[in-house]
Amino acid sequence: MQDNAPVHTANVVKDWLREQPFEVMEWPPHSPDLNPIENLWALLKTKIYDIHPELHTMPDNDETLKHLVSYAQEAWSEIDLSVLENLAETMSNRVQEIIENDGWYTSY
C-alpha cells in the first residue's frame, strides 16, 4: 500500500518501485479510506477483544505483550478468507468514492 507515508516516499523505495514490472497507483495525501489494511486492523482488534475481553484490564507490561501477540495470532486464524477477498475486491469502489468526494472521507 503506497500511501505517501515517509517510509514509502524515500528515494530508495521510489527507485525500487520504478524497477518493478507493475504500476504504482497515485494516492491522495491523508487517504486512509483507500487502505484496506486499516479496516483489517480494526476487524482484528475487535476480534481480539471479543475473544479476550480481559485485555482491557491487563497491565501494560511485557507479560501482557506476550499474551497480546498470542491473542492476535488466535484472532487472525478466525478471520475468514472471504473478509480479505472482500477488502481487495472493494478497492475500485474505494477509489471511485474518494474521487466522487474530491479526496474527502468515504463510507469505508
- pTM here is 0.66
- Alpha-carbon span 27 to 12, nearest angstrom: 19
For residue 58, give its domain range.
Answer: 31-100
The answer to whether residue 2 sits within a structural domain is no
The answer to whether residue 79 sits within a structural domain is yes
pLDDT of residue 67 exceeding 90, the answer is yes
Which tops the pLDDT comparison, 63 or 17?
A: 63
Could you read off the pLDDT of 8-54 as tens digits, one per residue?
678 888 899 889 998 877 766 666 667 788 889 999 999 999 999 99
The answer to whether residue 12 sits within a structural domain is no
Which tops the pLDDT comparison, 10 or 5?
A: 10
Number of domains in the chain: 1
The answer to whether residue 60 sits within a structural domain is yes
